[in-house]
Homo-oligomer: A and B are copies of this chain.
Amino acid sequence: MAQSRADIIADQLEDLILTGAFSSGERLNEMQLAARFGVSRTPLREAFQKLGQSGLVEQIPHRGVFVCQPGPVELLEMFEVMAELEATCGRLAAQRISDSALTELRLANNNCQAAVDLQEADTYYRENERFHQIIYVQSGNSFLAGEAKRLHRRLKPFRRVQLKARGRLAQSMTEHEVIVAALTRGDAEGAAQALRAHVAVQGEKFHHLMMSLKPAAE
């Protein structure tokens, strides 16, 4: 993995954007950020190229780079794609998953349940991520796993919001059980449908939440 100064800055900036440190449409001042990171503009600009490629910022020639937070519509679209990617991972994993991975999956799921009971949000998010990433890898398609990982990471901050919806956490756990069951019995279509629904509902919940917060969006 590439790890020069510019790459580290790119990762840090990505984190800052994903955690919402910048408001959407805000311009990223090169000199300002260069001073903040204690480097010159050169590595910063190289980092911008990377961020632009993943759609986190928009680069307008001679005007600068602007953070590009997805709106409600684009977010729904991304959740829709995520649902399909996860469904595909599940369909393939049902046929290819190893016993040890199944054990790990159940372990992660149990840890999730424990975190729910103990109200430990951070633990829940970590174990939930592990649960999904195991399925990505077990698809046996590393390119697919990479793409799924990328989008999952991109949607991470919005998933957190969505999970705050009442009763969503418990429902999510039930869905996980269905997914594990389908994978255990090697039911490809069952796993695919369960995962698609599991992720799709996240997008819908998120959308409802957004609408309820912005009732009079013109």
**Residues of chain A whose beta carbon lies under 8 Å from any beta carbon of chain B:** 2-4, 6-7, 10, 42, 45-47, 49-50, 52-54, 58-62, 74, 77-78, 80-81, 84-85, 88, 92, 141-144, 147
Contacts and interface: CB of A to CB of B under 8 A. Distances in A.
What does DSSP make chain A's interface, helix, strand, loop or mixed? helix
Number of copies: 2
Given A50-B52, A53-B50, A4 B141 contact: no
A147 B148 CA distance: 12
Contact of A61 (B4, B47, B78, B141): B4
Contacts of A141: 77, 80-81
12 contacts: A2-B58, A2-B61, A6-B49, A47-B49, A50-B53, A53-B54, A77-B141, A77-B142, A77-B143, A80-B141, A81-B141, A81-B143
B143 A78 contact: yes
